[in-house]
Structure 1
């Protein structure tokens, strides 16, 4: 968040601000959390009753002007599933502008879901409105999300929305902070933004009909609110929300407005309005606005609660959401698009149903993990069903493409292993595929050949688990390094029996130590493994036999990184909304705690990849003391097993840590020191790489707090102190003195860059708490919800966290670390096919980005309203970039479109197609670019 000074008037002119009498735009609304301190069905019954009463009021009282259904369209589905007979009446009032809804499908948490998920959320809002024949309000209504992402202005602009109504994450003293401002995204996109000075929950008319209430409790409350807002106003227009969480309608509103106006003569006049009318009135007044750039996550004495602990509450939800988004964005949609271009039907309805199920888990009280246990139990089937659809759609698309390959050169009984790459660049990475175990495949008896006949080393292992479109549970996993798999393409390998089995004495790995002939002495790849060492041509990884930490040597730079993957456990006396240290905390670390016992063994040894199992038996306090001021003296042993994997030809170290969590009221983090003092982190966000200072950010415009070791807090005495934990999507990177370290993650959205002089990245793996909200925490004034026990938020049972270490030179951009990270996040997809004729070669690609560019792809899908291909890219850098796009088939036209897939004019509106069918795509700093490609 950056305040970058005053801007010109909205139209660039100068104008004297108009003051009193103030025009007060009163909008009647409800804030509808679909599930929170009660279940979805509980709240839906209340919703049905609310809309029943609303429709009756609209029928009976022509002066009951309008009502806002909280900026989301899912309430229409939820209501009409119970009252289908009221469809015409409900949609009629929406068309008459007496009921407003949208533009969202659900009101999301902004930081915990992907950027592409936000786009699909807004698309689902459009689709729901179209289904009912209504038009959504074009107001960026996001009144209660726990902070705001930097690119929200660009996302809103992409849907034709030029305004936003926000609350958490910003504010300031009346003298210096105004309600209206220009909010600017990193690419320069802007919206006219309004900040709710007292929140969206204003019910000043509650006691007006009570004769026992004094003037000060009725008219006086309204006047005091307006006087406070007037000090912050840039025009004579004020916005008064009338409603709140699950609030019902108030049939008295018209009469009460008239009563209040009698009292406020000469100072203000209230009018029953809509948020859209308020925004239009602001624009008409053309105020001079301060520009605020970037994400809104501020803290301070005058700011509302940000509730940042939701980044790590119920981490299992975050991991499941990562899985769901990954399957849809990286596999199901792009592979369906490729298969569609090769003759298969593109089943948009099925894909949208999977998105609908997933997005229903994205409201801030759902994905944030701050609801009652039953709510989160009911989220699990939605996650599972969405992922099931995506997995099956992916497999069907892959099988269709496989069926088109010419595998006629296979011998009878042989199979082709086909590796699909859903990313738009050529990759060399580990590939896996599961076969039926009865086939008896083994490197001694079989060989794997690429499309040029070269033998590719592979390894096998028995695995268990469900796979899409099969009833088999037991499988043989084949693992190998697939080289140069084309962008959005595939490479097929022939799996054939050897004429003569290999010597059974031959060990199927290369050892670090000196060994006898055939006993690990004959490397087939660059990978070697030892008792506590993994090594290839790029990296050397050694696990300490003393404390279990990793030392990684980057052979390309000569830099050594030590003390990686230590674990830290601290007490947590907070709740699902806020991490809070107990007064007498006992912070323990595996690299310093003598109660931690370490063993290391080579768990997997092969030519494709090898794994060390680092086991730590750690005695930890079982929970908090009864007064919640300290961690318990009673301890229990927790076993953490980190499986540390290095693959041949790889520049990263993959880690999967598992443990059975029997510890309550604590936070578990993994630590990764850069080894140099780092002043800032750069974390992948939503179509943006966000730079943030180390430690806890200070008050807006105030000096930073004192430096110190470990975690830092700022804002003693504030309603909610600022903390150092920050959001991330795929990765966070730090650098100093041309030395860089990136930690990628699969569904671990919280990190902190410690101010410890070592540039340590702390990634939260788990936060276990037992309360929805508590008022006795040290880090927040008041509750954030009802004080309800949530024992399942302690996250008992087996937990798994996956992350990767990527050392590199510099700040990561020149090392193209973003590509390495997404290689890790998006494994190659392996499938099997048999012998058959076909029209496709054994290796081919659909779309590749070429050149020295900084573009990532976020979507590849069929267009919503035409037979065109949609490709969405975003620029990870804050400088202009360009890439050559090379397709597997020549396009007839390429044009730039917005997020609604409607034509826009940047870069001339179209891309020129070269004779070979390639074209150049351009993007400004941090710009999202969507292409419509016709064939």
Structure 2
């Protein structure tokens, strides 16, 4: 049998029509699998039990059918079996050794492939692959997410950086995303490539296997190259049945060119097949997943940031105080987080009880990460020279990021004297202006007050401050307020008293309006779609507006001024507190308190921009992508950057939201959706029935806005880092330290790159540093104090590892020594 290929690749990825032939081979690689959702329409204990049952069934089929090959991924499933069913685990090890049980995916589980941060994708592979190497002695090189709803454009880079060369997926399907071929070279912005294959028709099939074989055989004949054909009962497990295997065996005996196989064998068989190049993200299947169940999204972002800070703090404590690094605690917390980034969990499409499990788990991760961070910083504080007056309110401000932070800090010191009789000084004795705010507690108000000041703290470092008795110096301020305006030397913000939205935001230095109409304008939009929003690529732009009920001045300098605005719609109350800082370099801030009771509705926040020919760039996992302003709904991470043709930029960062759209010059945040939990078309909701709806009740989130000619992708990253990885303040009560009161333990100098992660190596033999180039330029990054230089290609990621001599060396996401 000869296969005819309709195209070949030229240099650069373009295609030309040619006819190529290859020797006789399998036309269909039959992939026996059992997709298991560990959580979805059931809670995780049910998923655990089904995983064990399904894998026992697969063992039975392997024993009954000599040629059968079974494919299964996700490290968490194997660890469940190892711990709970060791006899089954031993049998799996036997068949893995015989190459009849094939492990794919290599991750902790099949995560959502848009919502987790870039570092979480690295950890999926780091912990998953380490487990498979330790337990089975294999390296998994086939990426595999057949049930995830879409795939970030940076995923080829992340896969390559962690040792994968190929990728299998299903969604989006052909009616949702046109691809030039089912087999293609998927390429990320940095140029990294993996060979990708889109599964035709689905991964679950049993009774209709004959029809499936017929249909996919026709596809293979038309395409001119072999295909994979997946079979097996799935979602709630099950796997290949005896009847299905009998059909496949009969087809073989009839002379059909098909055979039991697995994805690794398939990709080896199509090595010489020309593959068209596909650039960027592979979207969209279920746009509703990016705004459903706000609590999960907000907690996920906090958990990711908390773990990164806990690791960085622990490294600094190990360097400065020789404190032991909490290897096991940190890795187990990451694995819990990775489990709760399962695509149905983080996507908000699980039943309510399973969602509640995840919310509780994420809260525990955040708390445990804070305990690790506190332990590390207390150990580090013990090495720092104490304040001159031990009875004063001495405290330390830590920056656990790789960039110097100059940000507003709020802190509640316990005082001997009234707060108005104290001076705030840094480590050199220089006095800093501060502003008093109401304390969180209403008890002992004269002794407990919150103070606000601007701190400038070096990267991976700290700075000591003292709040002691003394008359504070008089402070001048540029801040001005009126009934509906807040103004500084840089900004003038005006509130619309009818809607409570921004009527005007003026950049006084540039003499220009930022917005072309009312901004931060909430809109309630009808949303009758199911939980996934199947069949949609965008939401509506018309709906119910809010009516302003109150505008009240909250704070008036000298560090900042603020205004609280409450507005109401029929099923929601939104309270937005606007903050303008005296320091012109600081961003504007909006803290949102939302009480939502809508059902089958969504909430949009609208920002019409006065930028000429605006381009919109969205943060994605370890990168950013420019997308058209065509009204489509897009998944994004923490920030969006809008750039005008005149060089002026506008960046908007947030700490909880992931769903965005842009239409012409207007940016939209889809702040929440309220479908019924786990409602899947075509099931129709019945009038009069009681249903549980998502996102009911109160939620809070924060936005930061920055604008100017200097605002680019790098500043957008820093804006988001300052919001999600803000400086940490702790009382400085240790008395035995002799170290400096201001220090940076590690710093980097670069034009368009930044450090994203500092951690200890998993093998306990060094440190790991992650770097990211964000501006699309070739950049040189210099590490201090070692003064080592590393070159990063445009939009690329790099991992460095300390060698035995203490120098940094290039590594990869698996922390391989080179």
Cα distance, 1:573 vs. partner?
0.5
Q: Distance in 2 between matches of 1:643 and 1:47?
A: 48
The residue correspondences of 1:590-629 to structure 2 (distance < 5 A) are 590=545, 596-618=547-569, 620=570
Structure 1 residue runs of 5 or longer lacking an equivalent are: 208-217, 299-305, 466-471, 503-521, 621-635, 697-723, 776-781, 888-916
Q: Distance in 2 between matches of 1:474 and 1:339?
A: 36
Q: Is the aligned partner of 1:568 residue 2:539? A: no
Q: For residues 75 and 297 of structure 1, do their structure 2 counterparts lie closer, same or farther at Cα, with a shift above 3 Å needed?
A: same
Residue of structure 2 equivalent to 1:324: 303
Q: Distance in 2 between matches of 1:473 and 1:52?
A: 64
Q: Is the aligned partner of 1:841 residue 2:740? A: yes
Q: Distance in 2 between matches of 1:386 and 1:789?
A: 36
User: 8 Å contact 2:775–2:795 — kept in the other structure?
Assistant: yes
Q: For residues 841 and 200 of structure 1, do their structure 2 counterparts lie closer, same or farther at Cα, with a shift above 3 Å needed?
A: same
User: 8 Å contact 2:397–2:463 — kept in the other structure?
Assistant: yes
Q: Is the aligned partner of 1:587 residue 2:542? A: yes
Q: For residues 199 and 810 of structure 1, do their structure 2 counterparts lie closer, same or farther at Cα, with a shift above 3 Å needed?
A: farther
User: 8 Å contact 2:298–2:655 — kept in the other structure?
Assistant: yes
Q: Distance in 2 between matches of 1:396 and 1:584?
A: 46
Cα distance, 1:259 vs. partner?
0.7
Q: Is the aligned partner of 1:918 residue 2:787? A: yes
1:359-405 alpha-carbon deviations (Å, 9 max, x no partner): 11111111000111111011122101111111011111111111111
Residue of structure 1 equivalent to 2:59: 55
Residue of structure 2 equivalent to 1:864: 762
Q: For residues 290 and 171 of structure 1, do their structure 2 counterparts lie closer, same or farther at Cα, with a shift above 3 Å needed?
A: farther
Q: For residues 197 and 680 of structure 1, do their structure 2 counterparts lie closer, same or farther at Cα, with a shift above 3 Å needed?
A: farther
Q: For residues 412 and 367 of structure 1, do their structure 2 counterparts lie closer, same or farther at Cα, with a shift above 3 Å needed?
A: closer
Q: Is the aligned partner of 1:34 residue 2:10? A: no
SS of the counterpart of 2:253? helix
SS of the counterpart of 2:270? helix
Q: For residues 473 and 193 of structure 1, do their structure 2 counterparts lie closer, same or farther at Cα, with a shift above 3 Å needed?
A: farther
C-alpha RMSD of the superposition: 3.3
Match for residue 293 of structure 2 among 310, 314, 317: 314
Q: Distance in 1 between matches of 2:252 and 2:21?
A: 23
The residue correspondences of 1:380-529 to structure 2 (distance < 5 A) are 380-407=359-386, 409-436=387-414, 439=415, 442-464=418-440, 476=448, 478-498=450-470, 523-529=475-481
Q: For residues 9 and 523 of structure 1, do their structure 2 counterparts lie closer, same or farther at Cα, with a shift above 3 Å needed?
A: closer
Residue of structure 1 equivalent to 2:778: 880
1:20-45 alpha-carbon deviations (Å, 9 max, x no partner): 77532111101111111122222322
Cα distance, 1:920 vs. partner?
1.9
Cα distance, 1:130 vs. partner?
4.3
Q: Distance in 2 between matches of 1:190 and 1:859?
A: 24
The residue correspondences of 1:718-757 to structure 2 (distance < 5 A) are 724-736=632-644, 737-755=646-664
Q: For residues 17 and 652 of structure 1, do their structure 2 counterparts lie closer, same or farther at Cα, with a shift above 3 Å needed?
A: farther
Between stretches 730-739 and 526-535, larger displacement belongs to 526-535
Q: For residues 476 and 353 of structure 1, do their structure 2 counterparts lie closer, same or farther at Cα, with a shift above 3 Å needed?
A: farther
Q: For residues 840 and 477 of structure 1, do their structure 2 counterparts lie closer, same or farther at Cα, with a shift above 3 Å needed?
A: farther
Q: Distance in 2 between matches of 1:223 and 1:838?
A: 75
Q: For residues 925 and 412 of structure 1, do their structure 2 counterparts lie closer, same or farther at Cα, with a shift above 3 Å needed?
A: closer
SS of the counterpart of 2:432? coil
Residue of structure 1 equivalent to 2:4: none
SS of the counterpart of 1:690? strand
User: 8 Å contact 1:443–1:459 — kept in the other structure?
Assistant: no
User: 8 Å contact 1:182–1:292 — kept in the other structure?
Assistant: yes
Q: For residues 880 and 445 of structure 1, do their structure 2 counterparts lie closer, same or farther at Cα, with a shift above 3 Å needed?
A: same
Q: Distance in 2 between matches of 1:444 and 1:685?
A: 45
Q: Is the aligned partner of 1:296 residue 2:247? A: no
Residue of structure 1 equivalent to 2:75: 73
Q: Distance in 1 between matches of 2:656 and 2:633?
A: 15
Q: For residues 785 and 689 of structure 1, do their structure 2 counterparts lie closer, same or farther at Cα, with a shift above 3 Å needed?
A: farther
Match for residue 496 of structure 2 among 534, 539, 544: 544
Q: Distance in 1 between matches of 2:323 and 2:460?
A: 16
Q: For residues 481 and 850 of structure 1, do their structure 2 counterparts lie closer, same or farther at Cα, with a shift above 3 Å needed?
A: farther
Match for residue 663 of structure 1 among 579, 582, 598: 598
The residue correspondences of 1:155-304 to structure 2 (distance < 5 A) are 155-169=158-172, 171=174, 177-203=180-206, 206=207, 219=210, 222-233=213-224, 235=225, 237-243=226-232, 244-245=234-235, 246-263=237-254, 265=255, 268-283=256-271, 286-297=272-283
SS of the counterpart of 1:444? helix
Q: Is the aligned partner of 1:645 residue 2:571? A: no
Q: For residues 174 and 368 of structure 1, do their structure 2 counterparts lie closer, same or farther at Cα, with a shift above 3 Å needed?
A: closer
User: 8 Å contact 1:460–1:476 — kept in the other structure?
Assistant: no
Cα distance, 1:544 vs. partner?
2.5
Structure 2 residue runs of 5 or longer lacking an equivalent are: 1-6, 807-818
User: 8 Å contact 1:23–1:270 — kept in the other structure?
Assistant: yes
User: 8 Å contact 1:72–1:106 — kept in the other structure?
Assistant: yes
Q: Distance in 1 between matches of 2:95 and 2:440?
A: 55
Q: For residues 174 and 766 of structure 1, do their structure 2 counterparts lie closer, same or farther at Cα, with a shift above 3 Å needed?
A: closer
Q: Distance in 1 between matches of 2:686 and 2:258?
A: 33
Q: For residues 745 and 144 of structure 1, do their structure 2 counterparts lie closer, same or farther at Cα, with a shift above 3 Å needed?
A: same
Q: Distance in 2 between matches of 1:369 and 1:788?
A: 24
> How many residues of Structure 1 are paired with residues of Structure 2 in the alignment?
785
Cα distance, 1:295 vs. partner?
0.8
Cα distance, 1:100 vs. partner?
2.5
Residue of structure 2 equivalent to 1:120: 123
Q: For residues 524 and 340 of structure 1, do their structure 2 counterparts lie closer, same or farther at Cα, with a shift above 3 Å needed?
A: farther
Q: Distance in 2 between matches of 1:473 and 1:253?
A: 74
Residue of structure 2 equivalent to 1:714: none
Q: Distance in 2 between matches of 1:140 and 1:825?
A: 30
Cα distance, 1:792 vs. partner?
4.1
Q: Distance in 1 between matches of 2:674 and 2:624?
A: 29
Cα distance, 1:566 vs. partner?
1.0
SS of the counterpart of 1:675? coil
Cα distance, 1:260 vs. partner?
0.8
Q: For residues 104 and 7 of structure 1, do their structure 2 counterparts lie closer, same or farther at Cα, with a shift above 3 Å needed?
A: farther
Q: For residues 788 and 455 of structure 1, do their structure 2 counterparts lie closer, same or farther at Cα, with a shift above 3 Å needed?
A: farther
User: 8 Å contact 1:432–1:829 — kept in the other structure?
Assistant: no
1:618-638 alpha-carbon deviations (Å, 9 max, x no partner): 3x2xxxxxxxxxxxxxxx5x3
Q: Distance in 2 between matches of 1:275 and 1:869?
A: 35
Q: For residues 586 and 488 of structure 1, do their structure 2 counterparts lie closer, same or farther at Cα, with a shift above 3 Å needed?
A: closer
Residue of structure 2 equivalent to 1:802: 702
SS of the counterpart of 1:762? strand
Q: For residues 425 and 88 of structure 1, do their structure 2 counterparts lie closer, same or farther at Cα, with a shift above 3 Å needed?
A: same
Residue of structure 2 equivalent to 1:506: none
Q: Distance in 2 between matches of 1:5 and 1:642?
A: 56
Q: Is the aligned partner of 1:824 residue 2:723? A: yes
User: 8 Å contact 1:434–1:475 — kept in the other structure?
Assistant: no
Q: Distance in 1 between matches of 2:686 and 2:773?
A: 42
Cα distance, 1:85 vs. partner?
4.0
Cα distance, 1:501 vs. partner?
8.5
Q: Distance in 2 between matches of 1:770 and 1:24?
A: 40
Q: Distance in 1 between matches of 2:677 and 2:688?
A: 6
Q: Distance in 1 between matches of 2:138 and 2:687?
A: 39
SS of the counterpart of 2:149? coil
Residue of structure 1 equivalent to 2:511: 558
Cα distance, 1:477 vs. partner?
5.6
SS of the counterpart of 1:564? coil
Q: Distance in 2 between matches of 1:867 and 1:441?
A: 49
Residue of structure 2 equivalent to 1:905: none
Cα distance, 1:931 vs. partner?
1.1
